[in-house]
Amino acid sequence: MYFARNILLRILILVPFFASCTTNKVADSPKSNLKVEVFTEKGIPFLNIFDKNGVSLVRVRLGMNTSVANFERKIKIESQPAVDLLESNYHLNVGKQSEIGMRTNNAIFTLVNAAGYRLQVEVHIGEDGVAFRYRMPGKRDVKVDKDFTAFTFPKESLGYFLSISQQKGKEDSEEHPSYEASYEMEVPISHTSERHQGWCYPALIKSKVKNNEYWTMITETAVRGNYCGTHLTEGDSIGNMKIAYPLKKNSDADKDTLYPVFNNATPWRILVVSPYLKDIVENTWMTDLSKEEIDVTRQYLPGRATWSWLVEGDASVNFDRQKQYIDLADSLGFEYTLIDACWDTAIGRDSIKELAAYAREKGVGLWLWYNCSDNHAQGKTPAGRLQTRETREREMIWLKNIGVTGIKVNFSGYDDQKSFSLYEELLRDANTYELAVNFHGSVLPRGWERMFPNLLSAEAVMGMEYAMRNADFENKRASHIVMLAYTRNVVAPVDFTPLVLKNSWTNEKGELINRSTTMAFELSLPIVLCSGIQHYGLTPEVLGEYPSFVFDYLREVPAHWDEIRYIDGRPGEYIILARRLNSHWFVTAVNASNKPLEADLSLDFMKGKSVRRIISKGKNSVMQDTLKLDNKVHIKVGVNDAVIFY
């Protein structure tokens, strides 16, 4: 039975511990859609999340041991704190929504250990979620020795989990934790992850509580360079999932856990909780709880980029071919062109300066790739130019002087404090020299697009480059992308590098890989996946191979949005999604299930308008027509297929 004690029983049990409290419910959300209760059980602190009817949804164990004091057991809760309504409005250049309003109730309560030391727990309660963090005001360099935070769900709950995968460089004996894997879908909480190393954020959990379905997304935000990234352990037999910290590379031993230090407060842990997937997909908690950390030196604008490497590989990194890709960007009205690895040797710095000037004449911003892994494991250049302040400053001065717009920085995606410190230093220095940034092979961004507005995107995903190499992944790519629309792309912009129109390609081993999706599916991806810089797998020759309306559409679909509306779907199976820029709506229904999708859509926000529709005409072709939307529109979407309205 899930949380057998009801609220009344728990209140009666806890009265001796809460001598100065009239109730052990800490706070409601502003509209009382969610309720939070803090209590102790045998001296252990917990936080419980209830729905508006008092049904327990998630229980969170609280507490940590620190270099100041331990807060594991024999804990009391000080008197009931005041509850304050917090409201704020802010703007984002990058992401699913441009103008965002946050409205939550805030309560700070205090855990007191047997020796009288205090650990504050700050809680934000919104209509669709709860966030909390630990605080020690006035304390600096507080070392975390153990974090007891754990989440308990009904044991029958099912998870959508991303296993911490492993990557090894060509000349690297060390293995590095990576976010580049596929989600495992609808697995038990106790499901075994790869190498038993646990699950990355965000994790999505489906629970049944009193015959009602609830969805919970767990993640964290506002992680600065003075902390590290955490993840989740595998759930135990009764549904507990614990917070876990990074291990030293090549080590599975608990004694080698890399615990961080913090000043005043830890990052926020977030639980988005709702019976509706709409609240999961549309939530903005990641940026609501972060704040601007830099004063921007220029306006960092999102945009679309041409990029040769995805389809053509290393051989395309030469002066003449890159000039053609700049021309392609100009022809399509794209804002950027990215030149990938080894440009310093294959093209040369003098010629890169010439290409930057040529791009500027065309109104195209030039981006350059950098290897920033610790030991330059990939063997790609330029390497070693961004790791230290001295070398980074010299390189960035040169980049600014020749007019480069941004840098794509290749990291090993590791969650330790050292890596997070370098991320922050690099973003700050890049802003000093007016450079936008895209992190490749990276960790999950944690509110960084608001904290550092020069960060336009990050990878932290098994992206399109894997499909270009591996037929097995290509065959499940549609489901993988739909899953990302409910998880990875919900919490931060994602550089998946979508949209390959070629029917087939040959990988590095000479194996033929056939595209598993329809052309309409590929064209839908700029709507499905949101990224501040959207790299497309298009070649200059593609302009003569497809109908002109395809490129008219690509000229119109933007890389940033004012609004998102989730219409319907199921994780990993299908999603129907609408995005708006100014007054222009783009709607797509994407089907990755094993059977055709039929639905009647009520698109009230487009009612009465004449819109263009793109649908499949066989697997490798599309057609466009125009229709006026009245009441409902009936759609039929094939397997690995899509329909687009715009």
pLDDT of residue 373: 82
Q: Which residues pair with 537 in a beta bridge?
A: 500
Q: What is the pLDDT of residue 1?
A: 39
- Could you tell me the pLDDT band of residue 166, with boundaries at 50, 70 and 90? low
> What pLDDT is recorded for position 173?
42
Cis ω on the peptide bond leading into residue 453 (within 30° of 0)? no
pLDDT at position 188: 95
Q: Which of 281, 322, 338 is nearest to 534 (CA)?
A: 338
**pLDDT tier at 500, thresholds 50, 70, 90:** very high
pLDDT at 375: 61
**pLDDT at residue 16 above 50?**
no
Residue 166 corresponds to which amino acid?
Q
Contact 270, 126 (CB under 8 A): no
User: What pLDDT does residue 3 have?
Assistant: 37
- Could you tell me if 591 and 481 are in contact, meaning their C-beta atoms sit under 8 angstroms apart? no
pLDDT reported for residue 603: 94
Whether the predicted pLDDT of 175 surpasses 80: no
Instruction: Give the pLDDT confidence score for residue 275 in this predicted structure.
Output: 97
pLDDT band at 172 (very low <50, low <70, confident <90, very high): very low
Angle at 556 between CA 550 and CA 560, to 5 degrees: 130
Over 60: is that where the pLDDT of 360 sits? yes
pLDDT of 19:
33
Band of the pLDDT at 249, cuts 50, 70, 90?
A: low
Task: Read off the pLDDT of each residue in 488-503 and give the average, rounded to a whole number.
Answer: 97
What sign does the dihedral 536-537-541-543 (CA atoms) show?
A: negative
Domain covering 463-528+562-646, topology = TIM Barrel (3.20.20)
Q: What are phi and psi of 431, to 5 degrees?
A: -65, -35
Q: What is the pLDDT of residue 377?
A: 53
Please provide the CATH number assigned to the domain covering 7-288. 2.70.98.10
* Structure tokens given for 41: 């059980």
What residue segments make up the domains of the chain, in order of their start?
7-288, 292-460+531-558, 463-528+562-646
Q: Is the pLDDT of residue 8 over 60?
A: no
Query: What is the spatial distance between Cα 116 and Cα 118, in angstroms, rounded to a whole number?
Result: 6
User: Average pLDDT of 380-404?
Assistant: 96
Helix, strand, or coil (residue 43): coil
At residue 491, does pLDDT exceed 50? yes
Q: Which fold has domain 292-460+531-558?
A: TIM Barrel (3.20.20)
Distance CA 270, CA 281 (A): 14
Same fold, 7-288 and 292-460+531-558: no
Helix (H, G, I), strand (E, B) or coil at 287: helix
Tell me how crowded residue 598 is: count the other CB atoms within 10 A of its CB: 10
The closest of 412, 482, 504 to 182, measured between CA atoms, is 482
Given pLDDT bands bounded at 50, 70 and 90, which one contains residue 251? Answer: very low
Digit-coded pLDDT (tens) for 603-634: 999 999 999 999 999 999 999 999 999 889 99
The pLDDT of 327-336, averaged and rounded, is 98
Phi-psi region of 223 (alpha: psi -120 to 50; beta: other; left: phi over 0): beta
Give the model's confidence band at 411: pLDDT under 50 very low, under 70 low, under 90 confident, else very high.
Answer: confident
* pLDDT above 70 for 253: no
Q: Is the pLDDT of residue 13 over 50?
A: no
Percent of the chain with pLDDT over 90: 85
Which tens digits make up the pLDDT trace of 280-308? Answer: 999 999 999 999 999 999 999 999 999 99
DSSP E strand boundaries for 412-496: 436-440, 455-458
User: Residue 621 and residue 518: Cα distance in Å, rounded?
Assistant: 8
CB 622, CB 608: distance < 8 Å: no
Model confidence pLDDT, tens digit, residues 546-590: 999 999 999 999 999 999 999 999 999 999 999 999 999 999 999
d(CA 159, CA 570): 13
Instruction: Name the average pLDDT for the chain.
Output: 92
Of the candidates 116, 23, 24, 1, which has an alpha carbon nearest to the alpha carbon of residue 70? 116
Least trusted range by pLDDT, from 435-444, 482-491, 626-635: 626-635
pLDDT, tens only, 176-216 = 557 999 999 999 999 998 777 899 999 999 999 988 999 99
Averaged over 459-464, what is the pLDDT? 96
What dihedral angle (degrees, nearest 10) is formed by the CA atoms of 396, 172, 459, 447? -70
248 band by pLDDT with thresholds 50, 70 and 90 = confident
543 or 493, which is more confident: 493
Instruction: Determine the Cα–Cα distance for residues 154 and 265; give it in Å rounded to an integer.
Output: 30
Contact 591, 639 (CB under 8 A): yes
Identify the weakest region by mean pLDDT among 308-312, 349-353, 506-510: 506-510
